[in-house]
Amino acid sequence: MQSASEFVEKHRPAGGKRSSKRDLIVQVFLRQEGHLSAEELADLIRRTDKRISRATVYRTLQWMVDAGIAGKVDFGGGKFRFERAYRHPRHFHFICKSCNQSFEFLSSDIEALIEEVAAAREFAPRQSMLQVYGTCQWCQQGVTPPAMAPAELLFARDALRIAIATERSGREFYTRAARLTADGPGRRIFQKLAGEEVEHLRKLEERYAELVRQEPTLEAQPTFLFFKGAANGLFAAATEELGNGVDEGKALLIGIRCERGSHAFFKKYGERFEESEGKRIFLEFADEEREHLDMLLREYRHLVARQRRAAASTRPATARRAKTRATKRRRSA
């Protein structure tokens, strides 16, 4: 995994020189969670080293924004705050004008719309920022908003939730496919995959429980990831498609379609995310779905080959029977 210092060196603007003061400011900034004003960062730095002026902090902060190390968030009314961009999932903000807190979220629909509009305008986006101003649910209820967990933990929690939901749907699909198809190699593949889904689900649930143990407030925190087209919907629809009976070939094709779609979903979004635990969860799951896809493809090819061999072996016998019937008809005539 890329370290903070390696990240800073990689994103240092052309002509930028090393500076011990700047490096200290960057290190202190990257240790912070949430959103800081320039003044708050300057106070933190001055408590660490009084020789560093506020002007140096402000210049370094702008340099971090330009380098992609920090993100600048407009809280409205001329107020700006800054957040980590390094190992921080790309996201959008709800900003409450009553308590002045920012609540982060990521939406695949919003990202897809931005990409669609950018492509239509032949625009090459480098980064996107979205702030929605209003009143949070807690201020509407007249209660103090809870302390928010770091976005990276919320991201990992929701990535695990999506992976778990997909695994459960996959387990149901393969269990039903194994029950409905006739005994044979295809059915045994479905049974094998159903068993693997059970094992993968157990590991994901253990990983989720460990994450919640580390941060007990996670369960009650608002949703961070919004994905309407999550991959578990593919398997849920496929389970219905199986109906009350299906032949081996059709069941394999349905499974192939689901695994291909699931692999594409997790890989597509995993590659978009910034380096984080959530990104790793998506990419790991994409690899698992790829393995299942390869297994189903191999079995489908074997099935087609077996059917062709069976058809070829019956053709000579069929021809002989036809010839015999023709001979009998000639004799009877």
Q: Tell me: do 302 and 186 sit in the same domain.
A: yes
Q: What's the domain count of the chain? A: 2
| 333 inside domain | no
Q: Which CATH number belongs to the domain containing residue 68 in this structure? A: 1.10.10.10
Q: Tell me: do 172 and 306 sit in the same domain.
A: yes
The reported pTM is 0.76
Q: Reduce the DSSP state of residue 74 to 3 states and report it.
A: strand
Between 259 and 148, whose confidence is greater? 259
Q: Last residue of a domain, which of 43, 60, 85?
A: 85
Q: Tell me: do 157 and 77 sit in the same domain.
A: no
Between 40 and 329, whose confidence is greater? 40
What angle do the packed helices 54-67 and 20-30 form, to 10 degrees?
70
| 66 inside domain | yes
Position 24 pLDDT exceeds 80: yes
| 235 inside domain | yes
Q: Tell me: do 171 and 304 sit in the same domain.
A: yes
- The domain of 235 spans 151-315
Burial per residue of 68-77, b for 16 or more beta-carbon CB atoms within 10 angstroms, e otherwise = bbbbbbebee
**Average pLDDT for 303-317:** 80
Q: Tell me: do 295 and 178 sit in the same domain.
A: yes
**Average pLDDT for 8-27:** 69
Q: Which CATH number belongs to the domain containing residue 266 in this structure? A: 1.20.1260.10
Position 190 pLDDT exceeds 90: yes
Residue 232 pLDDT level (bands cut at 50, 70, 90): confident
Q: Tell me: do 66 and 165 sit in the same domain.
A: no
| 18 inside domain | yes
Q: Tell me: do 295 and 199 sit in the same domain.
A: yes
**pLDDT on residue 1:** 46
Strand positions, DSSP E, the chain: 70-76, 79-84, 92-96, 102-107, 131-134, 225-226
Position 207 pLDDT exceeds 50: yes
**Average pLDDT for 51-71:** 88
**Average pLDDT for 3-18:** 56
Average pLDDT, the chain: 85
Q: Tell me: do 51 and 178 sit in the same domain.
A: no
| 172 inside domain | yes
10 Å Cβ neighbour count for 155? Answer: 26
**Average pLDDT for 272-297:** 90
| 240 inside domain | yes
Residue 247 pLDDT level (bands cut at 50, 70, 90): confident
User: In whole angstroms, what is the distance from residue 159 CA to residue 163 CA?
Assistant: 6
Q: Tell me: do 27 and 164 sit in the same domain.
A: no
Q: Tell me: do 52 and 179 sit in the same domain.
A: no
**223's tokens:** 């949703």
Position 57 pLDDT exceeds 50: yes
Q: Last residue of a domain, which of 65, 85, 105?
A: 85
Q: Tell me: do 157 and 63 sit in the same domain.
A: no
List the single range of 159-168, 217-226, 267-276 with lowest mean pLDDT: 267-276
| 256 inside domain | yes
Predicted confidence (pLDDT) per residue in 254-277, tens digit:
999 999 999 999 998 888 777 788
Q: Last residue of a domain, which of 85, 115, 140?
A: 85
| 120 inside domain | no
**Average pLDDT for 168-187:** 91
Residue 310 pLDDT level (bands cut at 50, 70, 90): confident
Position 14 pLDDT exceeds 60: no
